[in-house]
Structure 1
Amino acid sequence: MTDTAAFYAAIDGTWPAAKVTRAGSWAIRDGQGGGKRVSAATAEGPVAASDLGAAEAAMRDIGQTPLFMVRQDEDALDHLLDAHGYTIVDPTNGYIAPVAILTDIPIPRVTAFSIWEPLAIMEDIWAAGGIGPARLAVMHRTKTKTAILARHKDKPAGTAFAAIHDGIAMVHAVEVLAYQRRQGVAQWIMRRAAFWAAENGADRIAVLTTAANGPANALYRGLGFRQVCGYHYRTAPENT
């Protein structure tokens, strides 16, 4: 059983901000253009309306529009931000499974490979999905990591990134080329990531997807993942 605290720690450990500082009870992430996950502030203790300004100022000081991640059971924070005009963005589901349930069948030859550093074709696939240099920089900041290249019908089909934190292998940046979708490519990506995870000492595998992504949610549930937690962002009024 993985508790929510361990899951959230794995998010930070496998998709790290360039820098994390403190402003009172807030953790302020410097994402350097790497997306919301590495740029959102989180409450690391009780906060009140009088504390909000410190977080906003700290984010503006590093050139970021105020953005907060609201994790499961942080209802008081959610109400506080709502009262100050912050709007919800990207509700996200967090899934986890034992590695063993994805290593029960062999991966067909030349279907999916674990490769680090990423090949140019993998970077091209990510770029087609909006995953550019700033997010690639996030990947390079991690320690135990790999990338997955999937092929279908003898052509590159998809890619993903995986890293390990405290026994949890988390898969990020899953991207399948549009014309290669609905062919089982993402399933083989996840299975290859699980084999890599087992080889590197992880016993659990995790993944994140937005609640609105119906196909991805169905895929992970179908593979035996269970939802363990979730979060959403609240973005500043001037960013809406």
Structure 2
Amino acid sequence: MSAALLQAMTATWPAAQTRRVGPWILREGEGGGNRVSAATAEAPVSTDDLRDAERGMRDLGQTPLFMVRAGEDTLDALLDAAGYAVRDPVVVYETDVSALAERDLPRLSAFTHWPPLAIVDEIWRDGGIAGPRRAVIDRAPAPKIAVLARADNRPAGALFAATHGRIAMVHAVETLPALRRRGAGRHMMIAAARWARDRGASVLALAVTRENAPAVALYESLGMRVATSYHYRVGA
């Protein structure tokens, strides 16, 4: 299931372009962040293969960056020996859609819609999801949805979700700092699960950095469980 989750993640948060170079998939992120810029190994790699990937990423105007998935210990050791530093250890959480969708959702607490409302874009922009990162949302294939949360009668948070097969992936979760701990994150996740259930998805998942303790606490309080993990290795 972990491979399917990572496939859904890349399908619903897509790079601008991808190309195969030997055992690698190289991604052109156009400034959209690690997830859409990191190369992944699809077969065993050698030091020579690493040099090919480095050249390919530099030709794209990108600093060499690799995603190392759970179990890729040989790749991790190769990159470590080549001087690549660990960046942003990430965990991928999943849960049964129907279980989350059945949780209580207070009236007027979260709204699903597409295209995103202007206030959703404002919330994303305040959270750093603008320009190239916002473009990732636009190029993600349908079905997809934006969720707006309200708390204290004010807009409080936003997220993006899209489906790939029977997996719904959540991305771009942002809650306004002044309205945190008001249930906005919980309500958005439940609304996203209900939307996903209505589109035939059976699993809801998302990726979050390990160091994001408030987000980790929220997802675990919703009964989500760690399905897999990965980290990045970045060069100079």
Q: Structure 1-normalised TM-score?
A: 0.96
Separation in 1 of the partners of 2:45 and 2:89? Answer: 22
Paired amino acid for 1:147: A
SS at match of 1:183: coil
Separation in 2 of the partners of 1:105 and 1:94? Answer: 21
SS at match of 1:148: strand
Q: Which residue of 1 aligns with 2:147?
A: 148
Q: Which residue of 2 aligns with 1:184?
A: 183
SS at match of 2:35: helix
Quote how far apart the aligned CAs of 1:105 are.
Answer: 3.1
For 1:151-193, what per-residue CA distance to the aligned partner results, in whole angstroms no more than 9, with x for missing partners?
0111000000000011100100100000000111100010000
Q: 1:10 aligns with which of 8, 11, 30?
A: 8
Q: Which residue of 2 aligns with 1:205?
A: 204
SS at match of 1:52: helix
Separation in 2 of the partners of 1:63 and 1:213? Answer: 29
Separation in 2 of the partners of 1:84 and 1:106? Answer: 50
For 1:80-126, what per-residue CA distance to the aligned partner results, in whole angstroms no more than 9, with x for missing partners?
00001100000000000000111113422211011111111111111
> Structure 1 unaligned runs (5+)?
none
Separation in 2 of the partners of 1:31 and 1:115? Answer: 26
Separation in 2 of the partners of 1:35 and 1:90? Answer: 12
Paired amino acid for 1:195: R
Separation in 2 of the partners of 1:109 and 1:222? Answer: 21
Q: Which residue of 1 aligns with 2:63?
A: 65
Separation in 1 of the partners of 2:231 and 2:188? Answer: 26
Separation in 2 of the partners of 1:118 and 1:137? Answer: 13
Paired amino acid for 2:220: R
For 1:5-28, what per-residue CA distance to the aligned partner results, in whole angstroms no more than 9, with x for missing partners?
101101111101011101100000
Paired amino acid for 1:188: H
SS at match of 1:169: strand
Q: 2:114 aligns with which of 113, 116, 125?
A: 116
Q: Which residue of 2 aligns with 1:165?
A: 164
Separation in 1 of the partners of 2:35 and 2:103? Answer: 33
Q: How many residues align?
A: 235
Separation in 2 of the partners of 1:145 and 1:215? Answer: 25
Paired amino acid for 1:129: G
Separation in 2 of the partners of 1:157 and 1:219? Answer: 16
Separation in 2 of the partners of 1:184 and 1:107? Answer: 10
Paired amino acid for 2:56: A
Q: How does 1:40-59 map to 2 (within 5 A)?
A: 40-59=38-57
Q: Which residue of 2 aligns with 1:33?
A: 31
Q: Which residue of 1 aligns with 2:96?
A: 98
Q: Which residue of 2 aligns with 1:74?
A: 72
Separation in 1 of the partners of 2:132 and 2:200? Answer: 28
Paired amino acid for 2:68: V
SS at match of 2:93: strand
- Provide the identity percentage: 51
Separation in 1 of the partners of 2:193 and 2:65? Answer: 32
